[in-house]
Every structure is written in structure tokens, then in C-alpha cells.
Structure 1
Amino acid sequence: MSNEPAQNRLFVIAAPSGAGKTSLVRALMERQPELRFSVSYTTRPQRPGEQDGQHYHFVTREEFARMRAAGAFLEHAQVFDNCYGTARSQVDSLLAAGHGVVLEIDWQGARQVQAQMPESVGIFILPPSRAELERRLRGRGTDAESVIRRRLADAATDISHWDEFDYVVVNDDFGRALDDLADVVQGRGQASRADRPELRPVAAALLS
């Protein structure tokens, strides 16, 4: 990878719930305005304050099914009762315009993208410890105990796929994690490579 700012590259960023992915991606986009965010399609209802085309492209289940059958999605998934997908045409258009493109999806979506676009760059965000992950999930103050337990179990499943990514950023200190993420996007991410030896015990502790 070159040391030039991200251009014509697709960055796929995934993480377990509570790792701080959304906050990091938001801060990354503010720091590097040349990046573009791919807006997903979804069948879930539009919430108050959300704008169609900015937060999501809101479509009916029938329209989503039609797009899926036509092969329009780079990746898609059903989460609980709703469908989500990334349009291949949108990503291709942004890349053709010279932008670096960011996808914020789960490991299953990342696997689909890698299969279709093997030149994409996979980045996984890890929390520093299980205790910190649980503290962050509880700190939201909005979820019942059963929901927190389910999120922790789901997080363990997500974390088990960390080594399928090219780079792994540990979100221990937010500022440092943001710097690490920006370095990867700018082609200077050697220190965050997923095959670095010191990462394996961190991941093992998260899964123990």
C-alpha cells in the first residue's frame, strides 16, 4: 500500500457491539473529508430524525427482494426482522470518482465483500478487554440485562472472526485508535496488521 491518501479504495470496517466502531468511523470521516460513506439500503421503518438517502435508503421488502434477485447488492444480510444491503453501483460510482469508500458492516457482510472485491481492505475494531466491553455496553443505560447478555454473546461470535481481516485496531484509547485507523486508510498501517504477534493473546483473552 502506498503512503498516499486513500483514493479508489474500499475500506470495510467491522467490530462487535460496544467496541466504538461508529464513533471511530464518524471521527475518521471528519478528519479525512475526501472519504465517502456508503449508505446502506434497509427494509426497517424510518425513525424520527432520519433522512432517506443520508442515514439509509429506506425501501420496501418487495423492492429489497427485487434488488437482491437482480444481483444489485455487494453484500446483504437479515438482522432480526429487517434486511440491510450495500448497493454495488453506489460503491463503484464513488470509487470511479476517485474517492476512498468506507463500509461499516458486520463480519458476515465483510466476507461477502471480500469475495466480490478481494482488493478491498478489511479493518476490525477490538475492545481492549471483556470487562471494558461489558462496561461500555452497560454504560449505555438503555438495555435490559437479557439484552446485555445477548450482546456480549454476540460480541464473542463477532470477535472470533478478527483474523479474517487485514488490519486490527484495538480501541483502548480513542485518540490513539483513531490515529491507527487513519494510518491504515492512508497506507501507513503496518503497526496495525492483523498478523502482528502481540494481537493473538489480546484476542484470546477476549474470547476466554
Structure 2
Amino acid sequence: MGRIICLMGKSSAGKDTIYKRLLEDETLGLRKLVPYTTRPIRAGEREGREYFYTDETGFGRLKGQGKVVEDRAYHTCHGLWRYFTVDDGQIQADQDYLMIGTLEAYGKLQEYFGAARLLPVLIELDDGIRLQRALNRERTQAEPKYEEMCRRFLADSEDFSQEKIERAGISRRFVNDELERCLDEIRGYIRAGISGKE
């Protein structure tokens, strides 16, 4: 039975970089599980790579077809943005997948696919470093959304509270203060989890 490795962590903790590096590691044999969103595409993003981009109508259609596995709605400074996972044929039972999600998404994926198929990877980083990274990234956008950046930063404290992490049953965490060391630790954890030793 294949596993779904769910990368989680606060904004700007380095999830995107770690995600790309893990996918590039052929020894892990991971396939990407691409989520959907109704938020606008950012500079440098591409349809079907980071997300499948849609709108409220598209979300409603998929929901009506019973294909939405889990969804999260965020009332941002720029309107309602949804992020969701769709059972759209991407997932095969004998393959291992990698995705980026939230604690809430992780719980709903466990309910849908079964806890045995999910492997959580929680990435952490000092808040000051995360805030500086978020600011640097936002400055590169054609239309920076600083208010939304701040909203997300503050919301992370609640979304990834100690209580919620414990409730999700996550005991292992990976501190991304040195990328290569962090990646080595995550690779070992994933290999053990895929082979059934974790």
C-alpha cells in the first residue's frame, strides 16, 4: 500500500524548497499530489505544478461531484480563498505521494484514505526568520499583498498550536535551520515510514 507524505508547517518555513528537493530525489520515488486553490496564481507559479487554479464555480462543481476530499476556506484581506484536495485520479494505491498541507488537511486525509496511508512531516523554523522570508518573497510579487502576509503569519500561531499538533498525533518535528541536515533527517524518516518501520 502506498503512502501519502504530508508536508506541513507555518508559512515561510521552507516547505516549498523541501518539497522540490524530495521530489527530485529519485531514491525516494515520490510522486507529487497537486492540490487545488481558488487564490490567484503568484509570480513564478505554474498551473498544475504548485496547484490547479480554479474559482468558486469550479470548486462547487467538484464538491457536487463528490470529488473534494478535504477543503479549507480562508477569509483573506483579498476575499475568500480555498485550498482543497480532489480525488481526481492522481492517487494510485501502489504509489507513494508527496503533498503540502495543513494539520486540518492531514486529519481529513486520514479520515478519507485511512491513517495507515498518511505520513506526517512537520517542518518548523524560528518565527523571526520566517517573517523575514515571507517579507522577502512578498516583495518579489507584481502586487505585494502585505496585509495578507501578516494575516497568515498571525493565523499560523493558532493553526499550528501545540494543542492541535498533539491532537493530530504528531510527535516528530523537523527544524529547518540548516537545509541539508533537515533534508537528510526527513529522507530517513520517509524511508522508514514507507518501509513500514515508522
CA distance in 2, matches of 1:66, 1:147: 27
5+ residue gaps, structure 1, are 1-6, 194-208
Q: In the alignment, residue 122 of structure 2 is paired with which amino acid?
A: F
Greater mean deviation of Cα atoms: 66-75 or 133-142: 133-142
Give the alignment's Cα RMSD to 1 decimal. 2.8
Q: Secondary structure at the match of 1:186?
A: helix
Deviation at residue 100 of structure 1 after TM alignment: 1.0
TM-score by length of 2: 0.75
2:99 to 92, 103, 110: 103
Aligned length: 180
The correspondence for 2:175, drawn from 155, 165, 170, is 170
SS in 2 for 1:39: coil
The unaligned stretches of length 5 or more in structure 2 are none
Q: For 1:166-198, what per-residue CA distance to the aligned partner results, in whole angstroms no more than 9, with x for missing partners?
A: 531111111111111111211169xxx8xxxxx
| TM superposition shift of 1:150 | 2.9
Which amino acid is 1:162 matched to? I
**Residue 180 of structure 1: aligned partner:** 185
SS of the residue 1:85 aligns to: strand
Instruction: Name the amino acid aligned to 2:190.
Output: V
- Matches of 2:112 and 2:176, distance apart in 1: 28
- Report deviation, 1:69: 2.7
Q: What secondary structure is seen at the aligned counterpart in 2 of 1:183?
A: helix
In structure 2, C-alpha distance between the alignment counterparts of 1:31 and 1:63, rounded to whole Å: 33
Going from structure 1 to structure 2, the CA distance change for 1:89 and 1:159 (only over 3 Å counts) comes to same
Partner residue of 1:124 out of 98, 122, 125? 122
Aligned to 2:83: 84
Contact 1:123–1:166 (CA<8 Å) still a contact in 2?
no
Other structure's SS at 1:67 match: helix
Which residue matches 1:197? none
Q: What is the Cα deviation at residue 14 of structure 1?
A: 0.9
